[in-house]
């Protein structure tokens, strides 16, 4: 597909980071990327430690210095892609600067911390696209084969006109005040200065929102939200629910919580139409349950009989062998590399090899903006 691996530089992902290593694993799974440079931490000592562990020679004190230095290198030596895995408050400036410097960008979600930043990034992406550059936002779950299958089933009319949607993302890891003990992942995610105006809804609620629109093909137009911080002393929401309606008249509920004690990451989506429904959950990500009004339910399995060509393109091993989160993440990286190669004329573009982009990111920020404005009014129930 690509004769030489894409050289990339990473911003963030230093000691104690979770998502940086996930990106690195996903990037190398298909051999389509080579980690060449990094500004892994604002602490240059820590940055050099990470670079040494990864056997990376080009470590930089800051991301700005990395962009400047890499831009000055010969075309066949400099990085081609910038991967950004920092806390949210750094996303906008780093993304815009990388695009303006002539690099493709892969950014961890959410897009940024405000609609103003989202619009600025969108403007930069559109300008960069005119110069042949590409932008990916890593909403991981859209990379699962059976999420692709669910989307294809809905688009083909298998369940009829969509009427009802339920999407939930329960976690339990923030059931105590971890940030009070200085736990790194909890500390920045619950800090308004680094996370933005929302906590759980930005961290995992945006994943749920992107998934519901991606699978159903629906566009949410109205919301009514209830957000709250359950754990005493927490500055941002750790629990929330959103009622929503779509442009076609469907309605649904989105739940995102990080205080569901004992829960891990069982993201689940159910879509119901006039003729049937579908059900997918991460705990059994290789399965998609298809329901019908007048027939027994069908359980499709990744790579198995009855699955579409689209989902098969995102299935890596024979049916019955488990795939998971890392493979879904790698599908986004693979599809992004494929598009870059297509734009260079190395092969034909393939619309089935899609990935989330700037429109998904702006939609996510619009969702956050809307739920903050909507905060529903509760009325007493009297008998």
Distance CA 336, CA 354 (A): 8
Tens digits of per-residue pLDDT, 199-256? Answer: 999 999 999 999 999 999 999 999 999 999 999 999 999 999 999 999 999 999 999 9
Residues 6+ apart with CB under 8 A from 140: 207, 325, 328, 329, 332
Task: Examine domains 6-133 and 144-320+363-374 and report if their fold is the same.
Answer: no
Lookup result for tokens 């019955």: 320
pTM across the whole model: 0.95
* SS3 assignment, position 192: helix
- What single string gives the DSSP state of each residue in 297-332? -EEEETTSTT--HHHHTT--S-TTS---HHHHHHHH
Task: Give the containing element (helix H, strand E) for 82.
Answer: strand 81-85
Q: 35 and 1 in contact (C-beta within 8 Å)?
A: no
Distance set, CA 39 to CA 17, 143, 317 (Å):
13, 27, 35
User: Count of CB atoms within 10 A of residue 107's CB?
Assistant: 27
Domain boundaries, the chain: 6-133, 144-320+363-374
Phi, psi dihedrals of residue 257, rounded to the nearest 5° = -140, 145
> pLDDT class for 4, splitting at 50, 70, 90?
confident
> pLDDT class for 375, splitting at 50, 70, 90?
confident
CATH C-level class of 6-133: alpha beta
First vs last C-alpha separation in the chain: 67
pLDDT number for residue 275? 97
pLDDT above 60 for 1 = no
* SS3 assignment, position 105: strand
Q: 336 and 355 in contact (C-beta within 8 Å)?
A: yes
Tens digits of per-residue pLDDT, 156-202? Answer: 999 999 999 999 999 999 999 999 999 999 999 999 999 999 999 99
CATH of domain 144-320+363-374: 3.30.360.10
> pLDDT class for 117, splitting at 50, 70, 90?
very high
pLDDT number for residue 380? 81
């Amino acid at each position: 597909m690509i004769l030489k691996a894409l050289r990339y530089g990473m911003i963030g992902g230093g000691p104690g980071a979770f998502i940086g290593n996930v990106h690195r694993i996903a990037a190398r799974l298909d051999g389509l990327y080579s980690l060449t440079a990094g500004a892994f931490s604002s602490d240059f000592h820590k940055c050099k430690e990470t670079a040494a562990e990864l056997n990376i020679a080009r470590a930089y004190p800051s991301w700005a210095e990395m962009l400047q230095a890499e831009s000055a290198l010969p075309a066949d030596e400099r990085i081609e892609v910038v991967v950004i895995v920092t806390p949210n408050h750094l996303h906008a400036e780093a993304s815009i600067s990388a695009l303006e410097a002539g690099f493709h960008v892969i950014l961890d979600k959410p897009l940024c911390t405000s609609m103003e930043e989202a619009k600025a990034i969108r403007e930069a992406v559109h300008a960069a696209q005119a110069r042949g550059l590409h932008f990916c936002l890593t909403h991981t779950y859209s990379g699962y084969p059976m999420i692709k299958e669910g989307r294809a089933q809905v688009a083909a009319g298998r369940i009829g006109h969509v009427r009802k949607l339920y999407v939930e993302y329960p976690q339990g890891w923030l059931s105590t005040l971890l940030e009070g003990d200085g736990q790194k992942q909890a500390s920045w995610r619950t800090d308004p200065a680094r996370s933005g105006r929302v906590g759980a809804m930005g961290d995992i609620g945006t994943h749920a929102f992107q998934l519901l629109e991606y699978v159903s093909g629906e566009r949410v137009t109205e919301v009514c939200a209830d957000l709250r911080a359950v754990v005493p002393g927490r500055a941002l929401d750790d629990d929330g629910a959103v009622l929503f309606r779509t442009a076609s008249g469907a309605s649904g509920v989105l739940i995102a919580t990080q205080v569901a004690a004992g829960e891990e990451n069982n993201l689940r989506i159910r879509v119901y139409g006039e003729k049937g429904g579908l059900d997918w959950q991460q705990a059994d990500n290789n399965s998609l349950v298809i329901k019908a009004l007048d027939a027994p339910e069908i359980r499709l399995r990744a790579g198995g009989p009855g699955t579409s060509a689209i989902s098969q393109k995102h299935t890596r091993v024979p049916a019955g062998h488990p795939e998971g989160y890392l493979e879904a993440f790698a599908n986004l990286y693979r599809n992004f590399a494929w598009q870059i190669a297509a734009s260079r004329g190395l092969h034909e573009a393939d619309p089935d090899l899609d990935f989330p982009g700037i429109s998904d990111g702006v939609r996510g920020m619009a969702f956050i903006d809307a739920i903050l404005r909507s905060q529903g009014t509760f009325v007493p129930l009297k008998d």
